[in-house]
Amino acid sequence: MGCHQAKIKEQKQITESQIKIKIESLKQYAILKKNQDISKILEQEQQLNQLLKSNLRNKDQEYALFSKLSQQIKYLETINFIIVYCQILSDQVLKILRCQGKTNSLQELMIYIESVIYASDKLNLKQAEEFNLYFLFYFKLDVNNLRNVNPKITQMFQSLFPNSYEINDYAKSFANKYGISEIELNQVGHQFILNNIISQQINNSNNFDFSSKNPYENLEINDENKNNNFNLCSISVKHNKKRILDLKN
């Protein structure tokens, strides 16, 4: 019993730089993964665009690709949350260290910590294992019972596959990007609805622009959490074309 308590005490005696390394390592991997995913999405979008221009179109093949791309963008959004939240946590390492594992004194940051654990677990990111194990132990959290996850993230994983509304949202953004009309899109029997495309895209978080020739320009992301006292603005992440992603709860 005494040895076990000593081990716990030793594990909790971690330095500020060690915590920062755990956070930064995950963030850098997430940025790399995001850039790789964007390249794959660009390739598949080009493939889908060619299918839509073909004289021998196949409805099932097209819909399957729309569904696949919709799912990939959902994963991309999740990676984006991880990047932004890791940046926030990296700036608050000293506060994390001083709380000594007591969540009561760190409530404003728990949504970021638990959201990163939840999101990386759902994406099965092995590179997040060290981050997750440390924070799960440090705050005595249960990965299957995280109570402070951003609802936007949990909502994205309510089902294994994208639903018809999510696929339709992606079809709208795709059609707008490539200049495809609703009639052209639905020519082989799809039932996508593209009306109010501009206003809905503004409110839709799935509006990544993958058309940039340089996919590594800065992306600015706003995160103003209603549940805490932070006013976190313009967190720069080296990534896709400069764009604001609103992460308000």
Give me the CATH number covering residue 115: 1.20.1260.60
Which of 15-19, 103-107, 162-166, 193-197 shows the lowest mean pLDDT across its residues? 193-197
pLDDT of residue 56: 94
| Residue 95, domain member (yes or no) | yes
Residue 12: band (very low, low, confident or very high) from pLDDT cuts 50, 70, 90: low
pTM (2 d.p.): 0.75
199: pLDDT strictly greater than 90: no
Question: What's at 1, amino acid-wise?
Answer: M
Residue 243: band (very low, low, confident or very high) from pLDDT cuts 50, 70, 90: very low
| Residue 123, domain member (yes or no) | yes
Query: Helices 129-138 and 107-122 sit at what angle, rounded to 10 degrees?
Result: 140
Residue 29: band (very low, low, confident or very high) from pLDDT cuts 50, 70, 90: very high
3-state SS of 151-175 is HHHHHHCCCCCCCHHHHHHHHHHHH
pLDDT of residue 196: 59
pLDDT of residue 201: 44
pLDDT, average across residues 141-149: 95
| Residue 40, domain member (yes or no) | yes
218: pLDDT strictly greater than 50: no
Distances (CA, A) of 138 to 37, 87, 113, 157, 238: 32, 19, 11, 26, 30
CB-based contact 176:204 (threshold 8 Å) = no
DSSP category for residue 91: T
| Residue 203, domain member (yes or no) | yes
Residue-range definition of the domain harbouring residue 160: 15-209
CB-based contact 117:136 (threshold 8 Å) = yes
| Residue 3, domain member (yes or no) | no
Length of the chain: 249
| Residue 237, domain member (yes or no) | no
pLDDT of residue 14: 77
Distances (CA, A) of 198 to 14, 52, 140, 181, 195: 49, 22, 45, 13, 8
pLDDT, average across residues 56-63: 96
| Residue 222, domain member (yes or no) | no
Comparing 50 with 217, which gets the higher pLDDT? 50
pLDDT, average across residues 104-113: 94
- The number of folded domains in the chain is 1
| Residue 241, domain member (yes or no) | no
CA distance 220 to 243: 6
